[in-house]
Every structure is written in C-alpha cells, then in structure tokens.
A and B are shown apart, each in its own frame.
Chain A
Amino acid sequence: AQKVTQAQTEISVVEKEDVTLDCVYETRDTTYYLFWYKQPPSGELVFLIRRNSFDEQNEISGRYSWNFQKSTSSFNFTITASQVVDSAVYFCALSEAYNFNKFYFGSGTKLNVKP
C-alpha cells in the first residue's frame, strides 16, 4: 500500500533556527518519485523539489536541503536559518511508476517561524 506519513502536525521555531520536517513513505514499487510542496497562506501549493527513487544524492538549494534515505524510507526537508516567510504548510508526496500521475500526499506539517 502507498502511504506518506508526516508525523509532525505543527512546528514552531524562532527565526534563524534550523528546522527539519520529516517525511516517511511506504511503497511496494521500486521506481517512484518523491516531492515536497509548500502551501503559503495564499493557498496554492508551490512545487519545491522532485526526487526519483534511483537518486539518493542529497540536494541543497539555498537554505533548503533534502535528505533522501531509502534504507529508512524517508525524505526529510531541512530549512537552515529559518525566516518568517518560511511559515507555511509543507506537504510531502509520492508517485509510483505504475501511475506517476497519481500523487499520494501526507497530511502536511504546519511550520510557524516567529520573529
């Protein structure tokens, strides 16, 4: 069965702190994609990253970094030196080779960054 778990419902940090958002997935497929999306207060989901199952190399983009570990079925997202503008709901998602178009989302983690 396919499933994405984001165990952290809500996280609050003070500006400039580092924060890691956890994502654990379940799939029987060996080929799949993992995604992170950001939902700011305006409502739309903003694409952040896509990672395929054959590429375990970690990725860094500015203050954002992603740690993909197949051994633990995790795809965690770290924000370094958080800013108030990072406050949003973050969703992790999975799609599988048999149907790449169908995304399975986690329940989201609400991040509050306080000044």
Chain B
Amino acid sequence: EAGVTQFPSHSVIEKGQTVTLRCDPISGHDNLYWYRRVMGKEIKFLLHFVKESKQDESGMPNNRFLAERTGGTYSTLKVQPAELEDSGVYFCASSRDRGNEQFFGPGTRLTVL
C-alpha cells in the first residue's frame, strides 16, 4: 500500500508569489489533514477534510491560504501571496476513520525569500 505522498518536496519562492502544494492520501482514506511546522517549533494543525468537505479549518492562519480537495481524492494547499512567515514544512496526513492514527507524508519544505 502506497503511503501519503506530497509534491513538491521543496519549494523556494519569493515573497508575493504563489505556491501550490499537493497531497495524495492513502487510497481509501476519507480523512485528510494539513499541518505546518515552522522553524523547529511544534507541528500545528491547519485543517481537516472528510472526503471533499472541510470538516475543521480552525488552524488556517489567514485568507492567503486556500485548501481544496476536489472529488475527495488529492488535496491542494495554495498560498497566495506568500509571506516570509509562511516558511516551514507543510505536512499532509490521512486516516481511514476519524480519531485513528494519522499517516503522514514526508512534507513539503517551503522557503519564502
């Protein structure tokens, strides 16, 4: 069974540009999550999808961040326009059922210059 995959693994952009991160969950997992780790701090929850619906987006920092999950399969997280403080590692995770362990991808390291 393939794990959670994320693309790209690393992105370097300039302040003001747009970046789109992609996550492919484990097949059959209806629950998909986005997290972010900034500068060696704790990993923080951003949002949770159940299939294509946003179940909880309480962790989204501001309206420059837009997450979508069309068709309930892969998900994208767009940052527009990017700011310096958006730099960090963005993790995606998926789970089959709510409350179960979440399986994480390798993360996308975003650097905003």
Contacts and interface: CB of A to CB of B under 8 A. Distances in A.
Are A and B co-members of a single complex? yes
Interface string A30-51: 0001010100001111110010
B107 interface: yes
* Chain B interface category by residue count: 20 to 34
Q: State which size class the interface on A falls in.
A: 20 to 34
Given A44-B106, A107-B40, A107-B41, A102 B48 contact: yes
A105 B106 contact: no
Nearest to A47: B101
Contacts of B95: 101
B22 to A, nearest CB: 16
A44 B104 contact: yes
Contacts of A101: 31, 33, 48, 55-56, 95, 98-99
Contacts, number: 62
A91 interface: yes
Contact of A37 (B33, B99, B104): B104
A105 B44 CA distance: 7
B99 A100 contact: yes
B91 interface: yes
A86 B86 CA distance: 30
A44 B99 contact: no
B49 to A, nearest CB: 10
A33 B99 contact: yes
B4 interface: yes
Contacts of A4: 42
A104 to B, nearest CB: 7
Nearest to B105: A44
Given A45-B91, A101-B56, 16 more contacts: A35-B101, A43-B106, A43-B107, A44-B3, A44-B4, A47-B101, A50-B101, A93-B43, A100-B98, A101-B33, A101-B98, A103-B33, A103-B45, A104-B42, A104-B45, A105-B44
